[in-house]
Structure 1
Amino acid sequence: MPGSHAAPSSEVPWARTISAPGATSARADANARRIAADLNIIAALGFVVVAFWLRFYRDPNVQEMVAIHGNAEGVSNTKKAEKQASWGELFKRSNTWFMILGAFGIFYTIWVYLTWLPGYLQQQLGFSLSQMGWVAMLPYMCGIAGVLFGGWLSNELIKGGMNTILARKIPIAGGAILAAAAVIPAAFVTNVPLVIALLSIGYFGAQVPIGCLWTLAADVAPSNQVASLGAIQNFGGFIGAAVAPIITGAVLAATGSFAGVFVIGGILLVVGA
């Protein structure tokens, strides 16, 4: 009987129409709860870090300050003799532009990792969400090691008698070149473990310069210009960080591949070195 089949055929679409939004809403709620839990964990870890800092940090004592700055009277006389440079004068110095360019290239690459690595692992390498979390952790763990290694290396070079500026430049340039040497080949490798290894080495290298970048302004500028020069350097770095996800998205939209993304990052690292 034709009439007996009409009702089921009309009920199924209605059932799907009604149930689909409900299922979507449930998934959205579950995702929102997971994100909220993750953010709460991050916030809690922040309080732990603050507690450790408050417990263990102390201001340098008089002897340590003299060791850092030299004779106290000489430091006082130097400060009196220093003339505050304007920002315009700082921009006329070649060192300022080298610092801006170096920070731009390094921060650009770091923010490509921070904003696009999970998407790359999922879209290009085919990792599931559960797999991606563990794999994405590896480059960032290597980055932690890179920051510590860069600071340690610079201090060891200074202890060995090397000029302070050169002892800062070696980790900055060396880390950037190492990162470029790992990131560019990653664009053309298809073996997944090798890609992850290259990305991990690349992020290690990109983080090696960070500690030295933060101290470079204090090393090259008079004490009354350190904050201004540091701000200008960070300005260059954060411009790189800001344009990194935009350029990455544009390259992906135009090419459909991450190869160009890695090559651009590698070139900027070499230029920044």
Structure 2
Amino acid sequence: MENDKITAENYTTLEASKIYKKTKMRWVIAGLMWAAIAINFLDRTTLAIATPHIMQDLHVTTQEMGMLMSAFFLCYALLQIPAGFVSEKIGQRKALGLSVLWWSIATGLTGIATGFKSLMGLRMVLGIGEAGAYPSNAAITRKWFPKSERATVGGIFDSGQKFGGAFGVPVLTWLMISIGWRETFAVLGIIGIVWSIAWWFFFKDDPADHKGVNKLELDYIHDGEEVKEKDKTMPLKWWQLLRYRNVIAMCIGFFMINYNSYFFITWLPMYLMKDRGLSFSQMGFAASLPLLCGAIIEILAGYLSDRVHSSGKMSLTKTRKLFLCIGLIMAAFIGFAAVSESLIVALILLCISKSGTVVAASQVWAIPSEIAPRNMTGIVAGIQNCISNFGGVVGPIITGFIVGYTGHFEFALLFSAFLLLIAILNFIFVLGKIEPIRVEKQ
């Protein structure tokens, strides 16, 4: 009788599992997050692709072009913390949806620019709008995914930048040849507006409110954590987070990473034409190769680091530091690309370098959800992205002036490699144990 009872129970469980399986709506959300970052990248990098045309049509100098590229990053960086705060207060459905809508309108209007001043204004407006993307995605990662999948998700959505570049750069190059650089900006603006409408009707801030999420998936997402979604209070003021060693280390390290990474979306097209002698159409293909490699490697790096940690062989801290250091060593290969005489070798080294920055980035975007106090994931990500994006502010300017003074990119790339070595030391010796910040009650 006992055996019969067990058999019946097993049969009931088996039948139930067929009917009531864990849904996978979180991966659809991850796909939308990825698409937002892909659009984000395309809209910010179109200026770099259009640089030769803009400089010729609007009579913009090399130094002014560097300032235009930096104008975006200045506003983008300064608005990161406010964007993280807004994301936590009004929710990511509104924050990310409005952010994409804002920057898409700015992108479309760029096509009517008449000179340096109007371009400068539109780039600043674009930077304000795009500031909401990463803080919102970091907060969504914490709400919609268990700890065991967060580096994977960080790698997925951040890889949108590289996929957008890998496939977008050749397409943008073709569009500019076919319909013109002004019309290309208009097309991109329309794509972003369509995404924001889809996001508004599909996404929910709380996975429990989404009709496509069943109880099994919801329990898996929460992963045994106590859920306090209705409590919107924050245990700290945002500036108090800067007292913590890990927050400081994250900001310093990511600054160095971004200084290198943003070369690939600002000056790389000009480098390939000026120093390597490629034509405009050849540049479109060559510039996409490092980004394509980065897109694939980042997803693999995030997934692999999650598997390494989940296996129990390495602590979370050791896992994050290992992948950060491996990535940064690879990224420093940009210095070898600078002195290589062969175009093919230089492209291979640039692919390795870009792949290294994304290996590090897959870890960087997982850490905010792993150390942030309650209801402050978006703000921690905002602080990190604010400081780090000053690498995008000063990088294009410094590179522009070095190239303007020396006539080539060699010293600019060697300086970037030097900063990456500093980043390695920072993550080894300054970054501490990866664990939630413990807030002492006042």
- 1:232 — aligned with what? 383
| 1:1-273 mapped onto 2 (5 Å cutoff) | 33-43=179-189, 46=192, 59=207, 61-71=214-224, 74-76=226-228, 84-161=235-312, 162-180=314-332, 182-273=333-424
Distance 1:88 1:204, change over 3 A: same
Q: What amino acid is the match of 1:178?
A: M
- 2:43 — aligned with what? none
User: What secondary structure, in the 3-state scheme, does the structure 1 residue paired with 2:340 have?
Assistant: coil
Identity of aligned residues (%): 30
CA distance in 2 between counterparts of 1:197 and 1:56 reads 41
Task: State the Cα deviation string for residues 54-92 of structure 1 (Å, max 9, x = none).
Answer: 9997835444444444435x455xx89x97122343111
Q: What amino acid is the match of 1:164?
A: L
Q: 1:179, 1:206 within 8 Å by CA — same for their partners in 2? A: yes
CA distance in 2 between counterparts of 1:62 and 1:193 reads 52
Q: 1:165, 1:216 within 8 Å by CA — same for their partners in 2? A: no
Distance 1:258 1:48, change over 3 A: same
CA distance in 2 between counterparts of 1:137 and 1:190 reads 20
Q: What amino acid is the match of 2:323?
A: P
Offset at residue 42 of structure 1 (A): 3.8
Aligned residues: 243
- Structure 1 residue runs of 5 or longer lacking an equivalent are 1-26
Distance 1:146 1:47, change over 3 A: farther
CA RMSD of aligned residues (A): 3.2
TM-score, structure 1 normalization = 0.76
- Structure 2 residue runs of 5 or longer lacking an equivalent are 1-55, 59-175, 208-212, 425-442
Q: What amino acid is the match of 1:36?
A: R
Q: 1:153, 1:171 within 8 Å by CA — same for their partners in 2? A: no
- Structure number with greater Rg is 1
CA distance in 1 between counterparts of 2:191 and 2:344 reads 31
Q: What amino acid is the match of 1:34?
A: G
* Larger mean Cα displacement after TM superposition, 108-117 or 144-153: 144-153
CA distance in 2 between counterparts of 1:57 and 1:169 reads 33
Distance 1:133 1:83, change over 3 A: closer
Offset at residue 43 of structure 1 (A): 4.6
